[in-house]
Amino acid sequence: MANVTDEMREFVRDALRAGESREAITKVLRNAGWPEAQVARAMEAYVSSDFPLPVPRPRAQLSAREAFVYLLLYTTLLICAVQFGALLFNLIDLNFPDTLDRAYATQNRDSAIRFAISSLVVAFPLFLFLSYIVAKDIKRNPAVRLSSVRKWLTYLALFVAATVLMGDFIFLLSKFLDGDLTTRFVLKSLTVAMISGSIFGYYFLGLRQEEQDKAADLC
């Protein structure tokens, strides 16, 4: 996210107060060499209205509660993704057993399935509850969408999901070229792709919708 300096924000405020159009202010800043992203952020700091004075948009303030909620939200998301994947992996192994598996492997599998189910029983309801709290906060105060903590953690989740998804397809292609594809391997690769792809798609579309809503507000 491009940072907007106080100097630029004050310039935009003074120019709007002097009666300059938003188009003229944007052009002047661009000609002065300010980056496009910073110019857009500076202009977004003030509402487009007929009021004679510049009206600032609300700015999200970082709070300990906000940081706690978002960190816990994404932690539970990570737990759910990992343990759901582990559960499906073990079910795949159970239904497509390897002849080389030994007795202790079966015992470990049963223990892993129980642990995965226990983790999901605890983490998934908590994730839904925290998601509800976040959605309620955003509905009550749309400025929460501007939260730096929320933006950073969301993009971090996108980065992790995209990296896992890319690595999964690279590994799958490598196995295909080696002629070493098995049913278990394909199903596990599809499981990873489904989980990481769902997370990436959900948060990417959410951020895209927010950008569209923001653009509509500026029109």
Q: What is the pLDDT of residues 119-141, one digit of tens each?
A: 999 999 999 999 999 888 878 77
| Structure confidence at residue 105 (pLDDT) | 61
Domain match, 89 and 131 both: yes
Q: Distance between CA atoms of 70 and 213, rounded to whole angstroms?
A: 22
pLDDT at 3 over 80: no
Quote the number of domains for the chain. Answer: 2
| Structure confidence at residue 54 (pLDDT) | 82
Q: Is residue 96 part of a domain?
A: yes
CB distance 149 to 137 below 8 Å: no
Q: Distance between CA atoms of 116 and 167, rounded to whole angstroms?
A: 23
Name the band, by pLDDT with cuts 50, 70 and 90, for residue 213. low
Domain match, 181 and 208 both: yes
Domain match, 50 and 68 both: no
What is the span of the domain harbouring residue 27?
Answer: 6-56
Q: What is the value of pTM for the model shown? A: 0.67
Q: Average pLDDT in the 4-28 region?
A: 85
Q: Alpha carbon 121 to chain centroid distance?
A: 23
Q: Distance between CA atoms of 92 and 113, rounded to whole angstroms?
A: 11
Looking at 56, 72, 88, which one is the last position of a domain? Answer: 56
Looking at 56, 72, 98, which one is the last position of a domain? Answer: 56
Domain match, 137 and 180 both: yes
**Angle at alpha carbon of residue 122, lines to 118 and 128, rounded to 5°:** 135
The b/e string for 160-189 (b: 16+ C-beta within 10 A; e otherwise) is: bbeebbeebeeebeeeeeeeeeeeebebbb
Q: Is residue 185 part of a domain?
A: yes
Q: Average pLDDT in the 29-37 region?
A: 86
Looking at 56, 80, 96, which one is the last position of a domain? Answer: 56
pLDDT at 218 over 60: no
Q: Average pLDDT in the 27-48 region?
A: 83
